[in-house]
Amino acid sequence: MASVHAIPSLDEQFEFTAESKRRLLIGGAVGVALVVLGAVLLSAGVGEHAHEAVQGHGLSEGHEGAHEHYKWTTRLWANIWVNSIYFTGIAVAGMFFMSYNYLAQAGWSSVIKRVPEAMPAFLPVTGIIMLGVFLIAGHDLFHWTHEGLYDKASPEYDPIIAGKHSFLNTPFFLVRMAFYFISWYMLWRVLRNLSLQEDLYGGTEYYYKSMKYGTAFLIVFAVTSSTAAWDLIMSIDTHWFSTMFGWYTLASWHVAGLATMTLTVVMLKEQGYLKAVNHSHLHDLGKFVFAFSIFWTYVWFAQFMLIYYANLPEETIYYRERFSGHGGIFLAPFWVNVVLNFVFPFLVLMTRDAKRTTILLKVACWGVLIGHYFDFYMNIMPGTVGDHAGFGPIEFGMILIFACAFIWSVSTQLTKANLIAKNHPLLEEALHHDI
């Protein structure tokens, strides 16, 4: 439904102030200090669980027998991997949002498109970090990288993992990982450049080109979002697999990205930017977060319920590890994950007014972002560090480092273009958006 609104100025330039940069640098420095402190404590054995790593498969199947000689550095590398996965998903969700809005020819989102458009610039950062971590510590995080698993003469030989060797081998893994990040980033660069040219020259030529490249991204992402989830997360628990894991990871990345977009739009508006954004735009963003929180829960529960009902040992071990394995240290994060990712946003954002109230949007989105960090923590930590997991200076410091770097990247991108895509063909619809 359209209505008449006073049209605000469309010329808005975001200023990444020296004070904002200073705060991010301080935040990053505090994060580094916490990581160093955590590393010192772990190297001294402070805060470590006294359990010996369990060999074989039992309740420590996630270790796959590969981590019986545990090193404290594994927890450091695992934390880097968790945060890289988490922020990769948030970054690529910006491109995903842009692309399906182009395909749907959605008008309402044109007024906020600079926000999701800025997010994928962080992909090279996480891509390079993950490549480095895999090359340095792949043997500590991924059991399938051990050559003895594929040698029938070796005592480590595992016929199940050996059967996956054509897919799970280091050269092919590296090729796939490079393809994910390069294809996502390059398609974003194309859309970004078309958007900037549209700002300069107007017309519909750039818009229709953006639709084509956005559709191309959706086709690529339809496949790579799942295969990336298999490679980067699911293969940590090498014996275990789920045909729903790709959808589950996509849902988690998507809703975390939506929460990030919503928070960014709200905060920019509170700083006096995005004057053209009204309560109806916020309402739509709130509906996205609400709806895809429910969608994540649907996929999460469907995967859990089917495995629980079938009660096959090779499948249930994944959840037994998280319920009762490793001394029960993952049980609390498991329920925090469920509560923050479904119960909390469902109750907070249920009403119409809640989706139009900035304080409630911020509370719900912060809850979703914290919850989905726990989601990836629960996916990765049991199979990498097991009994030695926990929450300490390394965890908090690593989150702070990555968050400050991501905010810096997005803020830098926001300065490079007008905050409103003022020559977008559907902008007029967005300026009069009313629901």
Q: Give the integer Cα–Cα distance in Å for 345 and 339.
A: 9
- pLDDT, residue 10, reads 86
Q: Give the integer Cα–Cα distance in Å for 323 and 335.
A: 10
Output DSSP code: residue 433: B
Q: Tell me the β-bridge partners of 2.
A: 433
Q: How many helices (H) and strands (E) does the chain have?
A: 16, 0
Q: Classify residue 381 as left (phi > 0), alpha (psi -120 to 50) or beta.
A: alpha
Taking only the tens of pLDDT, the chain with its 435 residues reads: 444 456 777 889 999 999 999 999 999 999 999 999 999 999 887 755 434 433 333 344 444 444 456 789 999 999 999 999 999 999 999 999 999 999 999 999 999 999 999 999 999 999 999 999 999 999 999 999 999 999 999 999 999 999 999 999 999 999 999 999 999 999 999 999 999 999 999 999 999 999 999 999 999 999 999 999 999 999 999 999 999 999 999 999 999 999 999 999 999 999 999 999 999 999 999 999 999 999 999 999 999 999 999 999 999 999 999 888 787 899 999 999 999 999 999 999 999 999 999 999 999 999 999 999 999 999 999 999 998 999 999 999 999 999 999 999 999 999 999 999 999 999 999 999 998
- pLDDT, residue 318, reads 93
Q: What values do phi and psi take at 433, rounded to 5?
A: -65, 130
- Residue identified by tokens 């749907």 is 104
Q: Give the integer Cα–Cα distance in Å for 172 and 208.
A: 35
- pLDDT, residue 9, reads 77
Q: Give the integer Cα–Cα distance in Å for 433 and 277.
A: 9
- Residue identified by tokens 């900035």 is 358
- Domain residues of the chain, as ranges? 23-43+73-431
Q: Give the integer Cα–Cα distance in Å for 272 and 390.
A: 40
The pTM for the full model equals 0.93
The answer to whether residues 406 and 84 touch, using CB atoms and an 8 Å cutoff, is: no
- pLDDT, residue 48, reads 58
